Chain A
Amino acid sequence: DMKVTQMPRYLIKRMGENVLLECGQDMSHETMYWYRQDPGLGLQLIYISYDVDSNSEGDIPKGYRVSRKKREHFSLILDSAKTNQTSVYFCASSLGAEQFFGPGTRLTVL
């Protein structure tokens, strides 16, 4: 069963704390993505990873960094989280142009 998983599903942090969001996929897809979704907007791309240690900025990379040390795992890191990073974060992996999405992580930064 092809699947993208995300941990944790819900997270509350205080401003200035570090945040680690984790994503896994069991399809051996080379390309993975991190998005954020805010009310009334579509998904905005934060980072793309084309394979292990091959990452590129998306549209809104400021305040975020990523790590991909294994093909099946892709992490999103917020160093010193800000209140405007409160959002729902989605991870995806792709086979060709089609993307497969995880269930999302709802992050609240107080």
Chain B
Amino acid sequence: AQSVTQPDARVTVSEGASLQLRCKYSYSGTPYLFWYVQYPRQGLQLLLKYYSGDPVVQGVNGFEAEFSKSNSSFHLRKASVHWSDSAVYFCVLSPQVVGQLTFGRGTRLQVYA
């Protein structure tokens, strides 16, 4: 069975600080991995995705994530956060065929001035 764990339910950082949101996955093969962001009262929007190749993938708005097969991780990073980054971030796993996504429970990011 596959699973995704986001160990931090809430993260609070000051504006301009660096950010890392953690994600660990469990899957027997090499999955497709995604980070989605959800702003209040909105649907999920794709930040970035990893399919294969370079383990560091770039996304929108300065976000990047690093895939590590040895650590079964896909952590999200940003060098300098802005107050508008406040949202809920979901790490998501997909098997390498069309079908069911597995979602982490999400990390709520609060950026204060």
Contacts and interface: CB of A to CB of B under 8 A. Distances in A.
Interface of A: 4, 31, 40-43, 45, 48, 50, 58-59, 90, 94, 96-104
B82 to A, nearest CB: 23
B43 A45 contact: no
Interface residues of B, number: 25
B33 to A, nearest CB: 10
Interface in B14-49: 32, 34, 36, 41-46, 49
Contacts of B42: 103-104
Interface in B56-113: 90, 94, 96-101, 103-106
Contact of B43 (A41, A42, A103): A103
Contacts of B46: 98, 100
* Secondary structure call for the A interface: strand
Contacts of A45: 100-101
Contacts of A100: 46
B100 A97 contact: no
B98 A97 contact: yes
B9 interface: yes
* Secondary structure call for the B interface: loop
Given A50-B98, A101-B44, 13 more contacts: A31-B98, A40-B9, A41-B105, A43-B90, A48-B100, A96-B98, A97-B34, A97-B51, A98-B46, A98-B49, A101-B45, A102-B43, A103-B42
A90 B98 contact: no
B23 to A, nearest CB: 12
Contacts of B100: 45, 48, 58-59
Nearest to B102: A42
A41 B100 CA distance: 16
A81 B94 CA distance: 31
B94 A42 contact: no
12 contacts: A4-B43, A40-B9, A42-B4, A42-B105, A43-B44, A45-B100, A94-B98, A97-B49, A97-B94, A98-B49, A101-B45, A103-B42
